[in-house]
């Protein structure tokens, strides 16, 4: 399930629509919550939920299905999830890090030699760090991570 913990400590279940929700990230305007689902193989997908005025979630919609990218053996499912300042979504998935635009079109994949688990922006905001089974990858991008602040 997807839960919200408010500032007073009250925990509210917002959705139980997914089998294995994992990575969470808001759109740049914070009106959409993207959620990766780590089910394999049939539930390897990303969902998009509208954030309502009362901070609950509306009905989720399929944003991107990664199952057609899964090979004959396990090669990753959506797990870690981040956005860049242009609203592009970066998620772990089959083959490495999938990059999707804000309409859910697959722009490309950053291939990793092993299954990627998570990712995060660092340094000046344009360096993408990727954790995998036994490695930490570092790649310089032209993008800047959403909400990245260089202090």
Q: What is the pLDDT of residue 150?
A: 53
CA dihedral 23, 30, 89, 49 (to 10 degrees): 60
Residue 62 and residue 86 in contact, taking contact as beta carbons nearer than 8 Å: no
Residue 120, H or E segment: strand 116-122
CA dihedral 44, 20, 127, 135 (to 10 degrees): -90
Strands 96-100 and 44-50: unpaired
pTM of the model: 0.91
Number of residues written out for the chain: 151
How does pLDDT run across 132-146, given as a tens digit for each residue? 989 999 999 999 998
Q: What is the pLDDT of residue 137?
A: 95
SS3 label, residue 134: coil
- Report angle CA 78, 70, 104 to the nearest 5 degrees: 50
Q: What residues in the chain have per-residue pLDDT under 70? A: 72, 149-151
């Amino acid at each position: 399930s997807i839960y919200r913990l408010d500032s007073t400590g009250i925990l509210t279940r917002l959705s139980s629509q997914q089998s294995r929700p994992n990575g969470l990230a808001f759109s740049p305007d914070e009106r959409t919550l993207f959620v990766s689902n780590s089910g394999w193989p049939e539930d390897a997908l990303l969902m998009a939920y509208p954030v309502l005025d009362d901070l609950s979630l509306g009905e989720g919609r399929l944003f991107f299905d990664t199952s057609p990218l899964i090979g004959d053996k396990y090669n990753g499912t959506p797990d870690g999830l981040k956005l860049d300042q242009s609203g592009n979504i970066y998620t772990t998935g089959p083959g490495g890090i999938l990059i999707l635009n804000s309409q859910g079109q697959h722009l490309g994949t950053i291939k990793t030699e092993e299954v990627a688990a998570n990712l995060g922006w660092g340094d000046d905001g344009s360096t993408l760090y990727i954790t995998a089974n036994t490695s930490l990858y570092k790649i310089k991008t032209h993008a800047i991570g959403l909400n990245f602040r260089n202090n």
